[in-house]
Every structure is written in C-alpha cells, then in structure tokens.
Structure 1
Amino acid sequence: MFLYGNFENLVAEAYNQFSGNTVKPGVQLTLRPLRITDMFSKALVFAAIGLVHVAIPSGLLAQGSAGTVLRPVRITTPPKLDGILDDEAWAGEPLPLDGWSSYNPMRGEAPAEKTQVWIGYDNEALYFAFRCLDTQPEKIRTTISRRDNAFGDDWVGLSLDSSRAGQLAYHLFVNPSGIQMDALQSGSTGEDFAPDWVWQSAGHVGADGWSAEIRVPLENIRFRSGTDVRMGVLFWRRLSRTGVSASWPEMTPGKWVFESNAIVSFDELQSRRLFEMIPSATFSGNQARSERARWNSTRARGDVGVSVKYGLTSAVTLDATVNPDFSQVESDAFEVEVNQRFPVFFSEKRPFFMEGLGLFNLAG
C-alpha cells in the first residue's frame, strides 16, 4: 500500500474528510511515495485523526478561558441592600455586557429584554447589582417561597469561580422578591443545591422592570489575595412569561460554566479570615410506663456542644465539632412515597458536613 505526502499533509487530509471543512489555502502537498505496511498505515491515519480531534478543542478552550476582562470599581460607601439602585455605588455606567444570548429553550437568540449589571467591592464583600428592564412589568412573576424554590419566577444571578481553578463555582440567584437560590457547581458531579451560603440579597419591582442587589462576604468565598485577583464570572437571567433563559457570556454548545465565563479583575483584594463558632445547649426529660397508669420518675439530661469553623489559609479550613446539636438542622422536605420503587435521598444540611462537600461527591 502507498501513502502520498508528508505527515502534516496527512493530518490536513484527515481533518478535511472527518470534519467536512477545508484546510487553509497555501498548504502544499508534496507527492512523495512512502511504502509502509497496511497495519502501520491505519495506525498513522488514526493518530493523525486523533491529533486533529485533540488540537481543535484545545484552541477553543484557550479562547474561552481568556474571555473578556471586567474591571469593577472599589466603592467607599457600601450600598443599602433594598433592591433600589439609587446608591452612589451604582451611579456609574453599567458594565459593557453586549451579546446576551439565550440557552434555553432555544440557543443563540438575542433576549427580548435588556439587562444591565454593575460590580463593586470593598474590604468586606463583593457587590452585584442588576437592572432587568421589562416592557411588560405587570407580567413579572415573583413569589415569596422557600429558599431554592423560586426557579419558576423571573430571576437573575451569577456563577462565580472565585479561585479560577475550573473546579468549583458558586451559583447565586435571586427573584424580584429577594428570595435566594444557590448551588455549588463541581466539574465532576454537576450542581448541588444542598449548600446554603451566607450572602445577602434584595429585589424591587418598578415601572420599567425590576432590580436586584447581591452582597457576597469575602470570608465565604475561596480566593488568593493579591494586587490583581482574577475570578471567573457568568451572568444569568430568566424571563418567566416567555420561558427564555439567557446568559452572558454566551454558553456555546458542549461547554459549561468553567469554559464560558468571563474574567473579573479586582485590584488589591485581600481574603478575610473565616471564623464561626456555634455553641449549643439542650435539655431533655423522659419517662417510661412500666405498668398500666403508672409512670416512673422523670430522667433529665443536659447536653452541651460547640462547632467551630476557622480559615487557616484561603485554601485550608479547619472544621471541628464536639457533641453537635443536629436537632436544629432544617428538616427533610415531605415526600410522598406511595408506590415509590426507588429510595428517597435528602440533601445534606448538617453544617459540619458542608465544608468541602464536592470532595466526597464522586461522579457516577
């Protein structure tokens, strides 16, 4: 069997056949006979195709990881979290976020309504403001519901990859009533709505749409201090009356948060040392009935415990607990199990087990 051309030409030819595209003008084929065995020729063609398959996505990943660099402003007076964007922090122009694009139910369409975003920060927290313009404000849907249960409403939010490691991202969403929805995005296991981060939010419905404010305390996110701290960010908005969800930057097919986010650069941002202590004290008493109409004496019992969370560094957190009181943890939601053939799983809500939750949730 004969193959003609050198290895680079073989790669180009394999790319043309399997992708339907054409190599760039200027590629010259030098016809030079090369006698090789049939088995080796198949291996060579397969290797060439493999190189094309690997090289093309890697270029796209590099382009997506570079992204747009956003420069937030350092604010001197923290905004009042009431959902009304009349604070000094939001007096400037919004970020130049052109190119919002839908991802559900249709992909790649320009949204019908405009969304404006501001970012600010100080030594205590990161601040985000959203103005969601709406030509039909009377059709804005909002409810007062439990946490993580307002995805049927209008909502807006962001995904923050604070360490830019491409492994974890914080999802923070809010509806026009200020109801929070949050999740942890892991590159291996996907979204987990069990964690409930400590952050503040507020919403307000006006004559031209609605607005929202979000405050993220620095001690609750993981990042490395420095003069140019860079994080990945992606913004979201859902318009409930049309059922359309859009994002900025655009999420291209086959990619997710870590490959689609833009870069936000903070000047002189220092991480804050995390310290939490939750003491607990409980008292209980019980009686037992050994004979009919007779109870034994009451047996009283007291329990004291404490849970401590301390940030040793921006990447290492000490979590310790002694005799934890899990009776105060949010109870499991009611589930109907009639004719249920599969086991019911509940989200983890115990504080001690929330730190580093993604390390123990393995894919599959």
Structure 2
Amino acid sequence: MSKLHFTVLIILIFYSFNIYGQKKILLTKSISENITIDGKINEEIWKTSSIATDFVMFEPDNGKPISTAKKTEVRILYDNNSIYIAATLYDDEPNKIKREITKRDVFGVSDNFSVNINGFNDGQQDFRFFVSSAGVQADCLAIEESEDFTWDAIWYSKTTITDYGWTVEMKIPYAALRFSNTKKQTWGLNFMREIKRDNQKYTWNRVDTKIGAVIPQAGILQGIENIKTPTRLFFIPYSSAYYQENDIASGTTFKAGLDIKYGINDSFTLDAIVVPDFGQTKFDNAILNLEPFEQKLDENRPFFTEGTDLFNKGGLFYSRRIGGSPITEPLIEANEEIINYPNTVNLLNAVKVSGRTEKGLGIGFLNAVTKKTYATIRDNDTNEARKEVIEPLTNYNILVLDQRFNQNSSVSFVNTNTTRNGGFRDANVSALLFDLKTKANTYNLYGDFKYSAINTVENYDGYKTELNFAKISGRYRYLLSGKYISKDYDINDLGIIFYTNYNSIAANGSYRILNPTNKFNTFKVYQEISLETQNTTGKIQEAYSITQIKATTLKNNYFELFLRINPIDRYDFYEPRELGRYVYIPKSILGYAAFVSDQNKPFTYEAETSITKFDENQRVTYMLNGGVKYRFNDKLSLAHGIQYTRKVNDRGWVDQDNTGIIFAERNREILQNDLTGKYAINNKMTLNLTARYYWSYSQNHQFLTLQDNGYLAQNNAYSLNKNRNFNSWNFDLSYSWWFAPGSEISILYRNYALESTRNVQKDLSTNFKNVFDSNLTTIFSISLRYFIDYNVVKSKF
C-alpha cells in the first residue's frame, strides 16, 4: 500500500469515527446585536458563529452522508431572551422543493427543518421546533415513545426560497424551553432536515437506527453562559360569542376568561385557567355503542392536552373524567320523570405546575374543581319540580415525581386523588414505575406496581403489577411480559380501565431492515403470542397469536399484512353485565391487509380490508375501509374516507329479566363517511372543513338465554324489540387566523344531530334524511384570544 493510499485510509477511518462514534459539539456565542427574523440571514454577526454541517441520513438509508448538492449549514447565537437559529438548506433543484401550506402542527407535503433541544441534556425529552418550506410552524414535546404536538409554544420563524435552496431563521425565547439554572449550560442538540420529494431525513448528529433510542443520540450545544432570563409571565385573555338554534329554541351566549402561564423559574411552569371556555373544541365522534364499556373519547381541550407528558405517566389519567358525565342518576318514584339531566359537569377552574430540577427530578401537580350539578325531576301528579344532586362539588388532584438518570432510565411515583363533597364516592390511586435501560440502549427492564383504594358505601382496594424485559436495538428485537391485575383494582374516577381480575403472559419478536434493499425502503416482520387467564375461575379470557408484516416500497407505497389466530375457546366476563357471569367465545381467525399510496403525489389513496371468521354458526365479520385525497395545489386539498363493517350472526347482550340474562344473535352494519378539506390563504390563515356521517344498526333475529356454564340456549319466550338504528351527523366549517404569536381569531359554523330508534331502516338515503329531520342543532361562534407577554407590557410602561 502506498503512503498516499495509507494516508487516505487513515483520514477515512477518522472521518467515519468522527461521524458515527462521537457526539458532535456546536459552540454558540452571546450577542448584543439585534437580529431580524426575516429568513434572509443577512446580519454580519451570523458570519462569526460556528457552523453545524455534515448531516447524515436518518432514514431510509441510515448513516449515508448528505450529498454536496443538499449541503446543510446551521448556526446558533443567543442573548438574555432567546436563542437564534439560522439554517441554509442547499438544493440543486429549488423549483422542486415541496411546500404545501397547512395549519399549525400539520405536516403536509413540504420540506421541513427542525431543531431538537434538551435543556437538561438527560437524553430523555426533547423540545422540538419545526418549520416547513412554506413557513408553517409545528412544535412538540418528545419522549422516546411519543411526540406531543398538542403542546404549543410562542416562538418566531421565517423562511425564504432562494435560487440555491431555502433558508430559515428562528427565534426561540427561553420561555419556550426548560433548562437548569447553572451558569454554564450544556444542552442536548440535534437538527433534522426532511427532503420530502425524496422521502429522506437527515440529522446533524447521526442517529443510528440499530439503537432503540433516538433522543440520547443528540449532539451537544455549548457556550450559553451567565444568561439572565426575563420573567416568564403570560396572560391569554379570551372572549367568545355563540348563537345556537335548534327545533326547540334559540339563544345567544357570551363568554370571557383568562389563561395564565407563569415561569416559577427556568425549570418550572404554572398553568391556570380561571374561566374555561371549550366551545370550539373538536366534536366527539358519537357511535352506536353496544359494548359493556363506555366509549373512550379523545381529549380536545387545550389545557388537558398541552404539556401533560408527566401527568400521563403510568396511564392513570383520563382527562375526560374532569368535566365529564355525572356519576349518578337520581332515584325517582313511579309518578315522576327526569325532565333535565345535564350531559356534562362544568369545570370551575384548573391549575397545573410542572418542571424538572437540574438533577433530573420531574415534578408535576394538577388540580381541577368541577361544579355541583343537579338533575330536575317533575312530579306528574302535582306538576311540581324538584332538584337532586347527581354530581357534587368535586376536586381532582394528580402528583407525579419522575427521577431520570443515566441518560435513558427513570423511576416514577404517581398519585391521583378524587374527592367528592358529601357522602359520594372518593378514590385514591398510587403507582410506582421503573424504566431501566443498559448504557448502550440494548436492553430494557420496565414495569410497575399500582394500588387503588375506593371509599364508598363498601370500601375496597386492588392492585396491578407488571414486569417487562426487552431487547430494543438491532435488527432482531424481542419482549417478554407478565402482568397481574386484581379483581378490585379500579382507577375509573380519574383514569380509565376496562379489564381487571386477570393475569397474562406475552412474548413478541421482530425483524427489521435498517437500510433499503433493492425492493424496500423499510421492512418489518413482527410475531406475538399472548395468554390471559381470569383469576377467580382460571378460565382463559384471551389467547392469540399475531403475525404482522409492514413495508414501504422504493416508490414509497406502504403495505401491511396481519394475521391473528385465536386457537382456544375463551370466555368474556364483561358482556353479561353481571358480576361472576361469563359467556363463551369460540375460536376465531382474522386476516387483514392494507395499502397506502405515495403521499407525495397530488392524488393519493388508501384501502384496508379484513375478515374475521368464528368457529360458530356462520358467524363472520367483514371490514372494508378506503380513502382518497386530492391536493389541487399547495393551498387547497380535499379528502374523503369511508369505513364499512358488517357483522353476520354476531352475538351480544340485550337485556336482563326475571328469567335470566338475555342475549341475541343479530346482524349489524356500520357505515361512516368523513369529508375533510383545507384552503390555506397563507401560513397564518386557513379555512377548514370537517364533516362526518355515521350510521349503524343492530337487528336481532334470535334471542338466547345465558346458561351458568357460559353457553347460550335458545329463548322463544322473549319478544321485546331490542333492535337499534342510530344516525349521527357533524359538520364544522372554521376560519382561523393567527394574527400574532399566540393570538388567534377563529370563526366556527357547526351543526350536528343524533337520531336513535328501535326501528331498523336499511335504506341509506332514508337514514340520511331522517337525521336531518331530527332536532338539528346549529351553532355560530366567534372567538378571540390574545397573548400578552408581561415583559412587553412592562417595557412599554
């Protein structure tokens, strides 16, 4: 080997080691100059800053250096108020840069640049800030398992398309971050660039996909020293006006309220809502629910979605409990009827405090109070009305202590408490959680112990414990899991749980490619087996084997194949609606397939189908879902989705009388249509359309009586009409204008209707007409919220 070749080899080895084996370090500097966030990067001070470059592909071809034509350079500066980021993203074909305009936090068909900041450099949580080539912002709080895009911070950005690519300028105030109060800051830092037309993502510090953790693989930001951050105090007053009309009455409502955000220090923040108003939150998707459990609803109220990662630890917090349905129904006499029963309980106020110390201890506290709520009951003989409490004044508390260590591990304590005034039910739940990973993020041991105590007419308590061991890196990965839940474990006062009183064991394994092949960009095979046994009887309540294949082709089309086999007869302990009873479920097999076309194209489509066959009396379930979307240009798009399910000879509970528990063999159909549309006037102003029509029926053709052994016997005596026909309609047309950071004007036109009857109607057009002929409610509302920074007000006065 010549000296020249040897020298080149040494340089290549060093270069590879530098890219793949070390954390990159970017040094920033303090400034006193003013930087205008205009996307032009023309201030002289930028030329004196260090440059982060040499990006490496994250996916699909992990580890491949970025090409010279797509060179990316990023600079960071700071002062006592904010950090400033300038990125130059070269592109040899700037006319091909994708730049669809969307509303905030929605990733359309656009190139993106993001910065990931971990102010504690603990390898466990990022504050991520994204800017698309169209100038649309997105931000989230990220832990290893998920990204929370409901969190919204106040920050500034601007992009410019150039003849050599595009540029980004960002200003992120310290109020949008969390970090320790040390004089010399060391932050975890990474940048990501997404080139949408190639479906490629690049990061500054390489993220090796063989390792089962992304956040610990960030680089380092150094140089921030002796900053004197301003007071973090923000007021968000809002006012709204509603006009509502239905077949019975109409009326106008005015509301006003205030949100407060206060930075106790650089690590901890207090959020409070003084007078809540959630009138413009997304509607709930009502369904025909024939299951023994309540329908679990999504949370759409900002206070309960923003920055709640600490409170969601352990799965003990279901925020829809706060301000949800009343917990009791009044007892009435034969001559009485309920003439007013509120569906929800009013929230009076709520406050949360959260943050993390420089030693890694996260502390979260949430408190909410709901109003005393009454039902109105009328005496039909005297026509007099009385009121009865159906939900007392109630206080909800959550406390979380979460200690992080070793850049990837944590131990947590969670307590939830529900206290109701008077003799109503109270509850307390505590949990100890642990999540331990090896230094190289190869293996993971995690689990919990949870204890619930209920104070009611008859006090009871219960517990749940779980232990998991997993290999979380490499092409081959696996998980071994065991769980035990006692009969009286109950978290439903502030959490949600359906199944208790069982133990389970499970194992899964998977194989994935880490770099593209000549056929696939991504490919993964997954296998799982699980067995659940009911504690009291020792009967099997669940047993299955799952095989799943997921892949993305070189043309960016996605497909999935799924097979689930239930090879053992099982028993359902909840469908009978009576403690100690159970019903037999036969063996079954489910096959599923899905396809999604390349989402970068103007016209995209997707389809999925499944068949579930039971070993019982021609019992089968068919499912077919599909959707199409057309992007007319970067501003306008429309999408339509349809979901159809047909259940033949389905079996389920319908009633209970003096002869026993009554089931029915029945046919069911479910049809849902969703229409969504978007017109972006610019990256701060959008029109959005959401429409949903849902129809479902259940038609019984044979009644059955549940036997003590769990099997069903024919019942020819029962003859009540227990059929169901259900229609639901929702329509939202909204205009949103973010006229200043954190400040929004929104206008909403909404109408909705529900129709539920015992008479099954199988004609779709008739059902659609019937739901509009029912009590259609129309709402028109205007809402204004304005973000006020205490420091800005202070400087003016």
Quick check: TM above 0.5?
yes
Which of 297, 311, 320 is the matching residue for 2:263? 311
Residue 327 (str. 1) matches residue 279 (str. 2): yes
Which of 30, 40, 48 is the matching residue for 1:92? 48
- Root-mean-square deviation over aligned CA pairs: 3.2
Counterparts of 1:80 and 1:222 in 2: how far apart (Å)? Answer: 24
Which of 71, 85, 88 is the matching residue for 1:128? 85
Tell me if structure 2 keeps the 8 A contact 1:223–1:271: no
Which residue of 2 is the match for residue 150 of structure 1? 107
Matched position secondary structure for 2:104: coil
Counterparts of 1:206 and 1:324 in 2: how far apart (Å)? Answer: 45
Which residue of 1 is the match for residue 491 of structure 2? none
**Amino acid across the alignment from 1:102:** M
Residue 251 (str. 1) matches residue 207 (str. 2): yes
Which residue of 1 is the match for residue 309 of structure 2? 358
Matched position secondary structure for 2:198: coil
Counterparts of 1:333 and 1:230 in 2: how far apart (Å)? Answer: 43
> How do 1:1-364 and structure 2 match up within 5 A?
67-92=23-48, 94-98=50-54, 100-112=55-67, 113-187=70-144, 189-252=145-208, 253-265=210-222, 266-282=224-240, 303-327=255-279, 331-332=281-282, 346=298, 348-350=300-302, 352-354=303-305, 356-362=307-313
Q: What is the deviation of 1:235?
A: 0.7
Deviates more, 1:66-75 or 1:175-184: 66-75
Counterparts of 2:214 and 2:175 in 1: how far apart (Å)? Answer: 23
Q: What is the deviation of 1:285?
A: 7.3
Q: What is the deviation of 1:119?
A: 0.3
Tell me if structure 2 keeps the 8 A contact 1:94–1:116: no
Tell me if structure 1 keeps the 8 A contact 2:91–2:166: yes
Matched position secondary structure for 2:312: coil
| TM-score between the two structures when normalised by the length of structure 2 | 0.33
Counterparts of 2:301 and 2:169 in 1: how far apart (Å)? Answer: 26
Cα-to-partner distance string for 1:237-268 (whole Å, 9 max, x where unaligned): 11122221111100012143321111112122
Which residue of 2 is the match for residue 12 of structure 1? none
Counterparts of 1:96 and 1:288 in 2: how far apart (Å)? Answer: 60
Q: What is the deviation of 1:336?
A: 12
Tell me if structure 2 keeps the 8 A contact 1:305–1:322: yes
Counterparts of 1:170 and 1:333 in 2: how far apart (Å)? Answer: 29
Aligned residues: 287
Tell me if structure 1 keeps the 8 A contact 2:140–2:151: yes
Tell me if structure 2 keeps the 8 A contact 1:224–1:271: no
Q: What is the deviation of 1:118?
A: 0.5
Matched position secondary structure for 1:89: helix
> Structure 2 unaligned runs (5+)?
1-19, 316-797
Tell me if structure 2 keeps the 8 A contact 1:159–1:257: no
Counterparts of 1:185 and 1:346 in 2: how far apart (Å)? Answer: 20
Tell me if structure 1 keeps the 8 A contact 2:299–2:305: no
Q: What is the deviation of 1:120?
A: 0.7
Matched position secondary structure for 2:45: helix
Counterparts of 2:57 and 2:247 in 1: how far apart (Å)? Answer: 65
| TM-score between the two structures when normalised by the length of structure 1 | 0.69
Matched position secondary structure for 2:38: coil
Cα-to-partner distance string for 1:78-111 (whole Å, 9 max, x where unaligned): 321121111223223551433x211211211112
Counterparts of 1:286 and 1:105 in 2: how far apart (Å)? Answer: 51
Counterparts of 2:246 and 2:113 in 1: how far apart (Å)? Answer: 54
Counterparts of 1:238 and 1:264 in 2: how far apart (Å)? Answer: 21
Tell me if structure 2 keeps the 8 A contact 1:280–1:305: yes
Q: What is the deviation of 1:282?
A: 4.8
> Structure 1 unaligned runs (5+)?
1-62
Which residue of 1 is the match for residue 739 of structure 2? none
Deviates more, 1:146-155 or 1:227-236: 146-155
Counterparts of 1:87 and 1:93 in 2: how far apart (Å)? Answer: 11
Which residue of 1 is the match for residue 633 of structure 2? none
Tell me if structure 1 keeps the 8 A contact 2:122–2:188: no
Tell me if structure 2 keeps the 8 A contact 1:229–1:269: no
Q: What is the deviation of 1:219?
A: 1.4
Counterparts of 2:190 and 2:179 in 1: how far apart (Å)? Answer: 17
**Amino acid across the alignment from 1:70:** L
Counterparts of 1:240 and 1:334 in 2: how far apart (Å)? Answer: 33
Counterparts of 2:129 and 2:105 in 1: how far apart (Å)? Answer: 10
Tell me if structure 2 keeps the 8 A contact 1:81–1:214: yes
Identify the structure with the greater strand proportion.
Answer: 2
**Amino acid across the alignment from 1:139:** K
Matched position secondary structure for 1:91: helix
**Amino acid across the alignment from 2:277:** D
Pair member with larger Rg: 2
Tell me if structure 1 keeps the 8 A contact 2:186–2:221: yes
Q: What is the deviation of 1:281?
A: 4.3
Counterparts of 2:119 and 2:192 in 1: how far apart (Å)? Answer: 17
Cα-to-partner distance string for 1:278-318 (whole Å, 9 max, x where unaligned): 2344566779987xxxx7xx877654432222111222222
Counterparts of 1:246 and 1:336 in 2: how far apart (Å)? Answer: 41
**Amino acid across the alignment from 2:44:** E
Q: What is the deviation of 1:154?
A: 1.2
Which residue of 1 is the match for residue 559 of structure 2? none
Deviates more, 1:152-161 or 1:74-83: 74-83
Tell me if structure 2 keeps the 8 A contact 1:225–1:271: no
Matched position secondary structure for 2:37: coil
Tell me if structure 2 keeps the 8 A contact 1:130–1:211: yes
Tell me if structure 1 keeps the 8 A contact 2:282–2:300: no
Tell me if structure 2 keeps the 8 A contact 1:73–1:121: yes
Tell me if structure 2 keeps the 8 A contact 1:160–1:234: yes
